[in-house]
Every structure is written in structure tokens, then in C-alpha cells.
Amino acid sequence: MQPESFPIHMRTNALFRSFLILLMASFAHFHCVRSEEKTFSKGEILALLPRGIDMDPEDMRKAERLVSIGPSAHEVLGAELLRLDDWTAASNIISVFVRSSGDKSIARRYLVRFLEISRNEDPWTNVRTQAAAAIRKLEVAQTAQSPTQKEIDTHGPEQSIQMPKLAEFKPALTTSEGPPSSTSWRIIVVLIVAVCGLLWMALKRRS
């Protein structure tokens, strides 16, 4: 009986190490999912807004961070643009609007409202010119992404044929996908239960 105890003990340690590795991997996956879903508060967004004329490397890093956040920051930045008395910060907001990717409808709406505010001082005249140019850029980008009337007429019959197929597959896709956070927790629970069961069987066999 004594020679068998060593292999069982080794198997128990191996299972325990496997349990720890799987648990750490599950938590790492869960942490990545949560970080991807991170949302920024109003204070965090405004803290990233550079407010000086000459930007140092730290200000440039903050501006790049604002650009990477994308449209989710546009509502906060747009409201700030309308109330600002600092023309340099207003210019930086307009630059973020132009450089960010994704939906620009919120940015365009606030730029139009900004031009409705009467500001005739010299620095603000330049900022207004920048805002008008930004609106034109956003409109050109939106026009380039939208299909032309000729493309609509050409592909119209094909779209009318494919629409029922998309409608048929949509329920299957929505039912197969679940929230990332709940899926991660289910994976963790299943792994814990499975490894605990293996450990219990190994200990029972050893005794």
C-alpha cells in the first residue's frame, strides 16, 4: 500500500496546481472583459482636456486618450465647448472631434450650436473658423460613408431579397450571445466545481 501513496499524492498536487492555473486564467479573462467595458465619468473626461496653448508631452498624451475614447466623450466635451471662456480649450475640443473615429453626430450638433454663440474677439474668430471647417470635414466624411442614390438604385433589388434572410437569422444570433460578465462568471463557477470534484475523487481514492 505504501508505494501507491506517492503517485496519488503527486496526482493530487498536480490537480491542485491545475485548479490554481485555471482559476487565475478565468479571473484574468474576467478582468479583461470588465476593462473593455470601462466607461468614463464627466470628471475623468474633463481631466484629460488640455487647456494650454503649448501642449507638453503629458498634454499630448491626454489629448490622444480623449481621441481614443471616441463618441462616448463627445456629449461631455460638447457641453463644455458651449460654456468655455478659454479659447485654447475650445480649440482642443474641436480638434478631438475631428480626429476621433466613430459616430460624429453629437460632435456636429455641438459645433453648430457653438457657431450660434456670438463671439467676435480675435482669438474666438479663429476658433469659429476652425469649428466651421470641422463641420465641413464631418459632413464630407458622412457623405463618403453614406451610399449614393445610384448605389441605392443599383443594389436595391438585392437588398430587398436579402432582408428576409437577415431577419430569419437575427433571433438565433441574439439568443446565442449573452452578457460578457455573466458568461465569465459561469465559466469560473464551472471550472471551480469541476476541479473540486476531481480533487475530492483523488482524495477519496487515496484514503
Whether the predicted pLDDT of 36 surpasses 80: no
| pLDDT exceeds cutoff 60 at 167 | no
The conformation of residue 147, written as its DSSP 8-state character, comes to P
Q: Percent of the chain scored above 70 by pLDDT?
A: 62
Helix 122-145 / helix 87-99 crossing angle, nearest 10 deg: 10
Whole-model pTM above 0.85? Answer: no
% of the chain residues with pLDDT over 90: 37
Determine the Cα–Cα distance for residues 110 and 81; give it in Å rounded to an integer. 8
Residue 163 lies in a domain: no
Report yes or no on 171 lying in a domain.
no
Q: Decide if pLDDT at 8 tops 70.
A: no
- What one-character-per-residue DSSP string does 150-165 give? HHHHHHHHHHHHHHHH
Quote the pLDDT of residue 174.
43
Q: Which of 201, 185, 178 is nearest to 26 (CA)?
A: 185
The model's pLDDT over 50-94, given as tens digits with 9 standing for 90+, comes to: 887 788 899 999 999 999 999 999 999 999 999 988 999 999 999
Q: Does any domain span residue 152?
A: no
Query: Could you read off the pLDDT of 141-166 as tens digits, one per residue?
Result: 777 765 555 555 555 544 444 444 44
Helix axes 2-36, 180-206, angle to 10 degrees: 170
The alpha carbon of residue 77 and the mean position of all alpha carbons in its chain are separated, in whole angstroms, by 17
Structural domain contains residue 35: yes
For the chain, what is the radius of gyration of the CA atoms?
A: 28
Residue that has been written with the C-alpha cell 480623449 in this structure: 66
Per the structure block, which three cell numbers stand in for 164?
A: 428576409
pLDDT at position 192 is: 82
What's the farthest any 2 CA atoms get from each other in the chain?
Answer: 95
Residue 113 pLDDT greater than 70, yes or no: yes
Tens of pLDDT, residue by residue over 21-34, are 666 666 555 554 44
Identify the domain containing residue 132 by its residue range. 2-145+179-206
Residue written as grid cell 466613430 = 102
Q: Domain count of the chain?
A: 1
Estimate the crossing angle of helix 105-115 against helix 74-83, to 10 degrees: 10
- Residue 77, in any domain of the structure: yes
In a domain, 58, yes or no: yes
Specify whether the CB–CB gap between 67 and 100 falls below 8 A.
yes
* Residue 162: inside a domain: no
User: Letter for the amino acid at 127?
Assistant: V
* Residue, of 14 and 53, whose pLDDT is higher: 53
158 domain-assigned: no
